[in-house]
Amino acid sequence: MKIDLSNTAIQWFKEEVDLKNGDKVRFYVKIYGSSPVQEGFSLAFTVDNEPIDIAVKTEKEGLTFFIEGADLWFFNGHDLHVDYNNQIDELEFSYILPGEK
Protein backbone atom coordinates (compact mmCIF):
# COMPACT_ATOMS: atom_id res chain seq x y z
CA MET A 1 0.00 0.00 0.00
CA LYS A 2 1.11 3.56 -0.62
CA ILE A 3 -0.07 7.11 -0.05
CA ASP A 4 0.13 9.65 -2.86
CA LEU A 5 -0.74 13.36 -2.61
CA SER A 6 -1.07 15.86 -5.43
CA ASN A 7 0.82 19.13 -5.23
CA THR A 8 -2.48 20.98 -4.81
CA ALA A 9 -3.40 18.77 -1.84
CA ILE A 10 -0.06 19.49 -0.18
CA GLN A 11 -0.59 23.23 -0.71
CA TRP A 12 -4.07 22.91 0.81
CA PHE A 13 -2.65 21.22 3.91
CA LYS A 14 0.01 23.92 4.28
CA GLU A 15 -2.47 26.79 3.92
CA GLU A 16 -5.66 25.48 5.55
CA VAL A 17 -4.18 23.33 8.32
CA ASP A 18 -1.19 25.65 8.80
CA LEU A 19 1.31 22.79 8.68
CA LYS A 20 4.95 23.54 9.27
CA ASN A 21 8.07 21.71 8.16
CA GLY A 22 8.34 18.47 10.18
CA ASP A 23 4.60 18.12 10.93
CA LYS A 24 2.90 14.75 10.54
CA VAL A 25 -0.64 14.09 9.30
CA ARG A 26 -2.37 10.83 10.17
CA PHE A 27 -5.18 9.47 8.01
CA TYR A 28 -7.54 7.39 10.15
CA VAL A 29 -10.82 5.51 9.98
CA LYS A 30 -13.95 7.31 11.09
CA ILE A 31 -17.16 5.49 11.97
CA TYR A 32 -20.09 6.71 9.87
CA GLY A 33 -19.80 8.29 6.50
CA SER A 34 -19.31 6.59 3.19
CA SER A 35 -16.42 5.34 1.14
CA PRO A 36 -16.08 3.09 -1.89
CA VAL A 37 -13.93 0.61 0.06
CA GLN A 38 -15.85 0.22 3.35
CA GLU A 39 -19.57 0.72 3.89
CA GLY A 40 -20.39 2.79 6.97
CA PHE A 41 -16.85 4.10 7.43
CA SER A 42 -14.96 7.05 6.00
CA LEU A 43 -11.52 8.57 6.14
CA ALA A 44 -10.46 11.54 8.25
CA PHE A 45 -7.15 13.18 9.13
CA THR A 46 -5.51 14.85 12.08
CA VAL A 47 -2.16 16.41 12.83
CA ASP A 48 -0.34 13.79 14.92
CA ASN A 49 3.31 14.51 15.62
CA GLU A 50 3.62 11.50 17.94
CA PRO A 51 2.73 8.43 15.87
CA ILE A 52 2.56 5.05 17.59
CA ASP A 53 2.64 2.45 14.81
CA ILE A 54 3.28 3.86 11.32
CA ALA A 55 2.44 1.18 8.75
CA VAL A 56 2.55 3.33 5.60
CA LYS A 57 3.98 6.81 5.10
CA THR A 58 5.03 9.27 2.46
CA GLU A 59 7.11 12.39 2.93
CA LYS A 60 6.66 15.44 0.73
CA GLU A 61 7.87 19.02 1.09
CA GLY A 62 8.97 18.49 4.70
CA LEU A 63 5.66 16.92 5.75
CA THR A 64 4.91 13.30 6.66
CA PHE A 65 1.55 11.70 5.82
CA PHE A 66 0.88 8.32 7.37
CA ILE A 67 -1.52 5.53 8.30
CA GLU A 68 -1.19 3.51 11.48
CA GLY A 69 -1.29 -0.27 11.43
CA ALA A 70 -4.66 -0.43 13.20
CA ASP A 71 -6.31 1.39 10.25
CA LEU A 72 -4.87 -0.63 7.36
CA TRP A 73 -7.96 -2.90 7.20
CA PHE A 74 -10.02 0.05 5.92
CA PHE A 75 -8.12 0.28 2.63
CA ASN A 76 -8.80 -3.34 1.63
CA GLY A 77 -5.62 -3.53 -0.45
CA HIS A 78 -6.10 -0.13 -2.11
CA ASP A 79 -3.58 2.70 -2.33
CA LEU A 80 -4.69 6.13 -1.13
CA HIS A 81 -4.55 9.13 -3.46
CA VAL A 82 -5.33 12.56 -2.00
CA ASP A 83 -6.17 15.48 -4.26
CA TYR A 84 -7.73 18.92 -3.81
CA ASN A 85 -10.79 19.91 -5.81
CA ASN A 86 -10.93 23.71 -6.02
CA GLN A 87 -14.47 23.71 -7.48
CA ILE A 88 -15.89 22.33 -4.24
CA ASP A 89 -13.01 23.55 -2.03
CA GLU A 90 -12.43 20.12 -0.49
CA LEU A 91 -9.93 17.30 -0.38
CA GLU A 92 -10.85 14.23 -2.40
CA PHE A 93 -9.77 10.72 -1.46
CA SER A 94 -9.40 8.07 -4.16
CA TYR A 95 -8.80 4.41 -3.44
CA ILE A 96 -6.85 2.70 -6.21
CA LEU A 97 -5.89 -0.95 -6.49
CA PRO A 98 -2.18 -1.34 -7.26
CA GLY A 99 -1.69 -1.47 -11.02
CA GLU A 100 -4.83 0.60 -11.77
CA LYS A 101 -4.77 4.24 -12.82
Summarize pLDDT for 7-38 with one digit per residue, the tens. 999 999 999 999 999 999 999 999 888 888 88
Distances (CA, A) of 31 to 21, 36, 40: 30, 14, 7
User: The whole model's pTM is what?
Assistant: 0.92
Residue-level pLDDT at 85: 95
pLDDT at 101: 61
